[in-house]
Amino acid sequence: MTLDRITLRGLRARGRHGVLPAERELGQEFVLDVSLFLDTRPAAAHDDLTRTVHYGELAEALVKVVEGGPVELIETLAQRLADVCLDNDLVREVEVSVHKPAAPIPLPFDDVIVTIRRSRS
């Protein structure tokens, strides 16, 4: 079966993640892109929100993770975000990209992005 995709792109939240003490003290903005892979046919057939993912509630849960306890690596943050998405039994797979546009790199750059893809086992 081919899965459908629901994507939430450009979700912004402030967090204190990073290896450097200044990142933990000052915090910075993180940007999230999340794609959920699931079967949306039951929701569409019945026009029923309870048969799909409420992306507004998901956005709030993801922001709480970013604003929550700090981690050193954005890889760890991405995994925590993926875990939140997979808590919904309808989600079969998730792809999470964490952007760190203000990463402490002393050279010109546009963005640092870690992308992970996880499946329900």
The catalytic residue positions are 100
Q: Cβ distance 34 to 57 under 8 Å?
A: no
Calpha distance 58→85 (Å, rounded)? 7
Element (H, E) at 76: helix 74-86
Give the CA-trace dihedral at 66, 70, 73, 78, to 10 degrees. Answer: -30
Name the burial class of residue 38, with classes exposed (0-12), middle (13-18) and buried (19+) by CB atoms within 10 angstroms of its CB.
buried
